[in-house]
Amino acid sequence: MIDYCILGSGISGSTIANLLSKSSSVEIIDKARGIGGRCSSKKFTKNLNFDHGLQYFSSKNYKFARFLKKLEKNKILKEWSGNHLDFTFKKKISYSKLIGKKGNNDLNKFLISKIKKKFNTEIIKITNQKNYWELHSKFKTIRSKNLIITFPFPQTKKIAKSYLKKNFNNMKINMVPNITLMISQKGGNDIPISSIKVKGKYISWVANENSKKRFFNKRTLWTVQANEKFSKNIINTFKKKRNYFSNLMMRELAQLLNINNKNLKVFGIHGWKYSYSNFKTNYESYWDKNIRLGICGDWFIGAKAEHAWLSAHSLFKKIKKNPPKN
């Protein structure tokens, strides 16, 4: 039987898996097709790739900054150079942005390269037995001595509510959705822009995928993220009206870049129902040694990649200080 089963392969899941694997057997389970969570990329062809979730890595925390520097030195990450514009303040952003050399899930792949992983497996029910957990998917049951959940809070609460302590269960956490549009532009390689932060009617962020210099494409690829208000308004309906909402965002992009929207083509639209939290909890992570259940994720602390990494480290310290009760 595996020592620790970890649900989710995002940054928090990959980080806690890496830390625990040094002294325990670990397996990661994810309902997605591959590694990454919100670090995952959308790949249509070899030279048609979009970072449709997390856009880049940066840090205010010195420990995470040191970790990123190590990955940059090992050529897992690289600097995303070019013109990064902030139209909300009409100034150029000067702080460093790091991205994966091939995709932003390179960080996750590095952390869990030697760890057992199971994809396309959605756990729909968990059951705590006396000395182990049973994790039920549609097709099979998996057993593990300890369970770590790295889902967003609403999904964590849904699957583990009956096992959570009352004060934790009663927390009110506002998870904000995000709509991301993936667009290609005929030509446009002469546009000297890497990213734009903007207060638009529909959009708030634009990234030029070509500027990341991972591939060559005659067309320019744009990742466009909607603002909070627009995302909230359409998150439950965008799949039925994807063409209508895509066109609204695409036209605003054309106006922003001063280009003809007839040269733009939508390749995909994705909705992140629980993209990030704008509420900081009183915890950094959650650990109940009596039933061997741990929880970590960025939403404990903030909304950025470093918060997911810090939450995972917090959980690891708690497990080491208060080992699971067998």
Question: Which of 262, 277, 292 is the C-terminal boundary of a domain?
Answer: 277
Q: Is 3 helix (H, G, I), strand (E, B) or coil?
A: strand
Task: Give how many domains the chain has, as a whole number.
Answer: 2
Residues 111 and 124 in one domain: yes
Q: Is residue 94 situated within a structural domain? A: no
Query: What's at 296, amino acid-wise?
Result: C
93: in domain: no
Report the CATH number at residue 33.
Answer: 3.50.50.60
- φ and ψ of 166, to 5 deg: -55, -45
Establish how many alpha carbons lie within 13 A of residue 21's alpha carbon, considering only the half-sphere containing its beta carbon.
Answer: 18
The answer on 257 and 204 residing in a single domain is: yes
Write the DSSP string, 118-152: E-S----EEEE-SS-EEEE-SS-EEEEEEEEE-S-
Q: Is residue 26 part of a domain?
A: yes
- Is 326 a member of any domain? no
Determine the Cα–Cα distance for residues 199 and 201; give it in Å rounded to an integer: 7
Taking the C-alpha atoms of residue 13 and residue 11, their distance in angstroms, rounded to an integer, is 6
Are 146 and 291 in a shared domain? yes
Within the chain, residue ranges assigned H as helices are 11-20, 62-73, 106-111, 153-160, 166-169, 228-234, 242-257, 305-321
Answer for the pair 144, 132: CB distance below 8 angstroms, yes or no. yes
Task: Say which CATH number the domain at 194 has.
Answer: 3.90.660.10
**pLDDT tens over the chain, length 326 residues:** 999 999 999 999 999 999 999 999 999 999 998 898 889 888 888 778 899 999 999 998 999 999 999 999 999 999 999 999 888 875 555 568 999 999 999 999 999 999 999 999 999 999 999 899 999 999 899 999 999 999 999 999 999 999 999 999 989 898 999 999 999 999 877 789 999 999 999 999 999 999 999 988 889 999 999 999 999 999 999 999 999 999 999 999 999 999 998 999 999 999 999 999 987 888 999 999 999 999 999 999 999 999 999 999 999 999 999 999 76
In a domain, 219, yes or no: yes
Burial of 3 (0-12, 13-18, 19+ CB in 10 A): middle
How long, in residues, is the chain?
A: 326
pLDDT at residue 47 in the model: 79
- Token pair, residue 227, equals 């603002």
Q: Which domain, by its residues, includes 134?
A: 2-78+99-172+279-321
Predicted pLDDT at 191: 86
Judge if 267 and 203 occupy the same domain.
yes
The whole-number pLDDT of residue 36 equals: 86
Angle between helices 305-321 and 62-73 (to 10 degrees): 110
Specify the residue for token string 């080992």: 323
Model's pTM, two decimal places?
0.94
